[in-house]
Amino acid sequence: MSGARRGALVLLLIGGGLAHPGAVGAATGFSISVAPAETTLAQFTTMDVFVDGTDAGEQLTVTLQGVQVASGTSTTAGEGLYTFNSGDVPVPPGAAGCGTDAVNLIFAGDVVASTSVRVYCPTVNITPDPIDSAGGPAAFTVTGIGFPADRDVTFNLDGAQNSFDSSFTDANGAFSKPASRPALPCGAHRLVAYGQPPPVIQSARSSSASTVDAFPTLPASATFTVTGCRSGPLKLTANPAVVTDGTLTHVTGSGFVPGAPVTLAWQLPDGAALTACSPTADSAPPLSADATGAIDTFCFAPPHQILGVARIVATQTTTRATLHAAAPVVVEGGSMQPSSGDQLIFRH
Per DSSP, the residues of 171-193 read TTS-EEEEEEES---SEEEEEEE
Coil/strand/helix, residue 76: strand
All residue ranges of the chain with pLDDT < 50 are 1-19, 24-27, 78-83, 85-86, 203-211, 337-348
Residues 6+ apart with CB under 8 A from 20: 33, 34, 35, 36, 37, 38, 115, 116, 117, 214
Strands 123-127 and 335-338: unpaired
Strands 138-145 and 175-181, how do they pair? Answer: antiparallel
pLDDT at position 344: 45
pLDDT value, residue 200 = 67
Q: What is the CATH number of domain 235-340?
A: 2.60.40.1930
CATH code assigned to 122-226: 2.60.40.10
Q: How far apart are CA 265 and CA 268, in angstroms?
A: 10
* Rounded Cα distance, 19 and 50, in Å: 8
**Residues 298, 251: Cα–Cα separation, whole Å:** 5
CATH class of 9-119: mainly beta
Each domain of the chain, given as residue ranges in start order, spans 9-119, 122-226, 235-340
Q: How far apart are CA 47 and CA 12, in angstroms?
A: 8
CA 105 → CA 17, 65, 75, 80, 132, distances in Å? Answer: 19, 11, 17, 21, 55
pTM: 0.70
Q: What is the pLDDT of residue 92?
A: 94
Q: How far apart are CA 30 and CA 148, in angstroms?
A: 30
* Equal fold, 9-119 vs 235-340: yes
Q: What is the pLDDT of residue 195?
A: 97
User: What's the pLDDT score for residue 150?
Assistant: 96
CA gap 237, 326 in Å, rounded: 8
pLDDT of 201 reads 58
